[in-house]
Amino acid sequence: MTVNGALLISLYTNKQAYAKYATFKHYGLKKKINATPNFTTMVTGHGNIKSHLHKYKILDSPMCSCKSGEQTADHILYDCKLLEQERDSLKAAVLRTENWPVSKNKFINKFHKNLKKIYEQYTL
């Protein structure tokens, strides 16, 4: 990892910097949500996620640890084999009132507490 890579990862894990950086107006956010680095990464696809870090040549590979695809926000939310249990819980909450899969807009506005279980578990 380069010095610039270490600096970028450090910036992405700084909660204060991330909370100031993160705006979700284009998602129609109607609630005040604590914009943690992991939450922001899941919503924007930017941050401490392999596909994003690979794009800037900080990591050699964008592949997820589950080996079934690139580690993108959508892969983590909908496909990652390592997060099946958390996804099943999220899916159960969604299916009470919506069809699966739901948009990120719905995740943010309606299911952000359930979504938290997934974004707190993903790792590089």
pLDDT tens for 20-69 read 444 455 555 556 666 778 888 888 888 889 999 999 999 999 999 999 99
Q: What's the pLDDT score for residue 59?
A: 93
Establish if 112 belongs to a structural domain: yes
Kindly report which listed range (58-67, 74-83, 112-121) carries the lowest average pLDDT score.
112-121
Domains: count for the chain: 1
Measured CA distances, 35 to 2, 10, 62, 112, 116 (Å): 27, 16, 24, 11, 11
pLDDT at 72: 93
Structural domain includes residue 33: yes
User: What is the span of the domain harbouring residue 61?
Assistant: 3-119
Task: Establish if 35 belongs to a structural domain.
Answer: yes
pLDDT higher than 50, residue 16: no
Task: Write down the residue that tokens 């705006």 correspond to.
Answer: 23
* Higher pLDDT among residues 59 and 12, named by residue: 59
Residue 41 lies in a domain: yes
What average pLDDT score do residues 65-83 get?
A: 93
Q: Is residue 124 part of a domain?
A: no
